[in-house]
Structure 1
Amino acid sequence: MEHNEILAKVQEIFRDVLDNDDIVLSPQTTADDVEDWDSLSHIQLIVAIEKEFKIKFTSKEILSWANVSEMIECIASK
């Protein structure tokens, strides 16, 4: 799956979990850029992404992400 396809799916997950259809993600997007992306919603996002892509992340992977691009790289590698 191409990175732009993954980004589009992840963006839809963010919109659904955070209940905000106006969210537009870029590879450089961080939690500071998205209103309501806090520690609790981060867990909800992780669970939803794992379910959508049928993958599991390690704690080390999750903690290493600095932005959406690193999350997408991790998804693509699985």
Structure 2
Amino acid sequence: MMLISPDQALTILTEVFREVFDEESLVLTLETTADDIEEWDSLNQIKLIIGCEKAFAIRLKPREINGLQNVGEMVDHLVRHFSGT
């Protein structure tokens, strides 16, 4: 099983977010939420999920991601997923 560090996860997530929001200068932090990005609506939420699934070659279940409050929680979820815990 592949392991991924929090920094690696954040780097990949940043690329996904930049593509979805078409904003090359977008900077994510672990505290970034949907409220911080004006264009982050329900349609872009779906695009983010699909982009993450492609970028990380995983399948995300709605129940796993619906409760995530910020980018940091997504990073934690991805690190746990790849560590098998």
TM-score (norm 2): 0.86
Residues 1-78 of structure 1 correspond to what in structure 2 (within 5 A)?
A: 1-78=4-81
* Greater Cα radius of gyration, structure 1 or 2: 2
Pairwise CA RMSD: 0.9
Cα distance in 1 between the residues matched to 2:10 and 2:57: 16
Query: Per-residue deviation at 1:76?
Result: 1.3
The count of corresponding residues between Structure 1 and Structure 2 is 78
Question: Structure 1 stretches (4+) deviating beyond 4 angstroms?
Answer: none
Q: Which runs of 5+ in 2 are unaligned?
A: none
Amino acid at match of 1:46: I
Greater relative contact order: 1 or 2 (C-alpha under 8 angstroms, separation 6 or more)? 2
Contact 1:23 1:34 in 2 (8 A): no
Amino acid at match of 2:43: L
